[in-house]
Amino acid sequence: MVRFSGVTKRYGDLTVLDNLDLDVAPQEKVAIIGPSGSGKTTVLRMLMTLERIDDGVIYVDGRPLTHMESNGGLVRANEKYLRSVRGDIGMVFQHFNLFPHMTVLRNCTEAPINVLGLPKAQAEERAVELLELVGLGDKLGEYPQRLSGGQKQRVAIARALAMRPKVMLFDEVTSALDPELVGEVLNAIRMLGKQFQLTMLMVTHQMGFAKEFADRVCFFYEGKIHEEGPPEQIFNAPERERTQQFLSAVLEAG
C-alpha cells in the first residue's frame, strides 16, 4: 500500500532519513518508535507531502506520490499532481490543528464539501456519523476552544476520516495530552482499526498501545530502521543493543 524506496531527507548537513526502504501492506498497522531526532515524524510528514523529498520515491497504492511520470522517467511532482494523489492519505497531528473559527461539525465537513464536492447535507451526515463514532455526537456545535485535548484529538480523527482515506497517519497524537485523556484517544484509534479497512502508520511513545495494536514495530535510529519486527519480538526480545537501550529507558520512565 505504501512503499518508501531509497528515501532520503536532509536539512542542510543533517541527514534526517537515510536511504529508507519501507513497505507497508494494505491494512497493516505499523508503529514507529525511536528516540527524538531519529526521523520518525519525518516519515509521516513526507508521506503527507508536508516535506519535500531529497532522494528516492514514495509509492502509494502503486502510484508514485512524490514524483510523476514524464517522458518515461520520474520527475518531482508539482502541486497539481500532489493534490491528485494526496486524497488517499489522512493525518492526525500532535497538536490537533483544528480550525478554531469553525464548529466541530464544520471542521469535519469543510474538506468533504470543498474537496470531494459532497452536498452539504451528505457531508454533514457523514461527519455526524463519524463524530458519534468517536463519542462526540453531542459536541457538533461547539468550537474547539471549549473542548478538552482528548476531545479535540477525537475531532481531528473524525475530520481526517471524513475524507475516506486509505492510509491514516498518526503523529504522536497523544503526546500533547494530559495523561488521563490519553486513553480516550487510543480507544478511538482502536475502534477505527476494527471498523475501517485502513492502513495505519503511527509514531508513538505509547509502548503498551504499540505492542497491543500494531502488526509491526519499526525502531528508528539515526534516520534508519534499526530494527523491525512483530511487537512481541521487538518488545520482548529485541536483538540490537540500541533497541534494548531505548526500550529499557522508555519503560523505566513508565
Partner 1 sequence: MFWDWEYAFEVLPVLAGASIITIQATVLGFILALVLGLIFAIMRMSRNRAISGATTAVVEFIRSTPLLIQIFFIYFVLPEFGIVLDAFLAGTLALGIHYATYCSEVYRAGIEAIPRGQWEAATALNLSPTTTFRDIIIPQAIPPVVPALGNYLVALFKETPLLSAIAVLELMQTAKILGSQNFRYIEPITLVGGFFLIFSLIASAANRYAERRLSTIGKR
Interface ranges with partner 1 (CB under 8 A): 48-50, 79, 83, 86-87, 89-91, 93, 95-101, 110-111, 114-115, 143, 145-146, 159-160, 163
- Minimum distance from CB of 74 to partner 1 (Å)? 22
Is 108 or 234 the residue whose CB approaches partner 1 more closely?
A: 108
Contact status, residue 34 vs residue 246, Cβ threshold 8 Å: yes
Is 189 or 207 the residue whose CB approaches partner 1 more closely?
A: 189
Contacts 24+ apart (CB under 8 A), 189-194: 189/157, 189/213, 191/133, 191/134, 192/157, 192/161, 192/168, 193/29
Residue 126: CA count within 13 A, CB half-sphere: 22
- Minimum distance from CB of 32 to partner 1 (Å)? 17
Is 81 or 235 the residue whose CB approaches partner 1 more closely?
A: 81
Q: How far apart are CA 18 and CA 141, in angstroms?
A: 45
- Minimum distance from CB of 69 to partner 1 (Å)? 21
- Minimum distance from CB of 87 to partner 1 (Å)? 5
- Minimum distance from CB of 197 to partner 1 (Å)? 20
Is 59 or 143 the residue whose CB approaches partner 1 more closely?
A: 143
Is 43 or 207 the residue whose CB approaches partner 1 more closely?
A: 43
230 DSSP assignment: -
